[in-house]
Amino acid sequence: MTKRKLGRSGLEVSAQGLGCMGMSMAYGPPADRQDMIALIRQAVEWGVTLFDTAEIYGPHVNEELLGEALAPFKGEVAIATKFGIRMEGGQQVQDSRPEQIRRSVEGSLKRLRVDTIDLYYQHRVDPDVPIEDVAGAVKHLIQEGKVKYFGMSEAGVKTIRRAHAVQPLTAVQSEYSLWWRRPEDELLPTLEELGIGFVPFSPLGKGYLTGKIDENTQFESSDFRNIVPRFSAEARKANRSFVDLLTGIAVAKDATPAQIALAWLLARKPWIVPIPGTTKLGRLEENLGATWVELRPDDLARIDAAAANLPVHGARYPEALEKRTGL
């Protein structure tokens, strides 16, 4: 597995990380714990060194899973986790008050079985807490040795600049794929200017760009895609052109649509590290294979030209969830 540096921070990780949320929540019933431990450890054996989780995933269960799975590899991998969302009365509540951040970091350290968190993201921008206070709280944690690097998730560029002025950011995490390209407008140029790495989540469009999902696919009742407008049966059918585009390139490259989607992301910038998630060993192997797929300039131009003429049908989140993002 080749390595990449996240911006100018010096944090070097594998060209692909592993998003672990779906092992515990969001995409149906939680996967078997021992199977996921085996998958995470196999990912390490195959060269993955960046693993992504959050205190709210499970909640807490996902961090505990990573803590157990990665215990034998201390010092060999980087674990990214997130603060800023907690459960209250069965509902998720944004809370990035400095005192809450300190409570969160202590809990995450314990669950992850580490002395220092490698990359600590604010999960979502808290409209009730000045970002300078948040960045200042993380700066203190870095000075104390509890955190190595600071990150933000789904933040807008003005907020990123304000945070970066207090405590330099190592990475920003946001959704980015061939069918969600909003980060290209302002976010990517800002990150390049400031020397901040980019970690795209849902780089395969929550599974859609693999080509394994169509308008007839039935999701588990607990799968959150059931409430995502872009995953209505009508939208899935209308968006099929994206999969057809990837499939056409994949045939010529002896690859899969998923590998082309990931290779396209990797070719955008050398400081982009996507974190596709999976609960299947075969899918993990397939995703990692994208690192060796070479897309030439003419391939990229073909993809961009074709995609520019493909309208995306359906919003990426229900309205209430979209309001929580800073993009």
57 a catalytic residue = yes
Write the DSSP assignment of 225-268 as a string of letters.
GGG-GGGSHHHHHHTHHHHHHHHHHHHHHT--HHHHHHHHHHHH
Q: Which helix (H) or strand (E) holds 122?
A: strand 117-122
* Active-site position among 27, 57, 121, 149: 57
Write the DSSP assignment of 64-116 as a string of letters.
HHHHHHHGGGTTTSEEEEEESEEEETTEEEE---HHHHHHHHHHHHHHHT-SS
Which residues in 123-255 belong to E strands, given as ranges?
A: 147-153, 169-175, 197-201
Six-digit token string for 153: 């998730």
35: helix, strand or coil:
helix
Is residue 324 within 8 Å of residue 294, measured between CB atoms? no
**Most distant pair of Cα atoms in the chain: their distance:** 54
CA distances 259 to 122, 165, 240, 243, Å, are 29, 37, 17, 12
- Give me the active site residues, please: 57
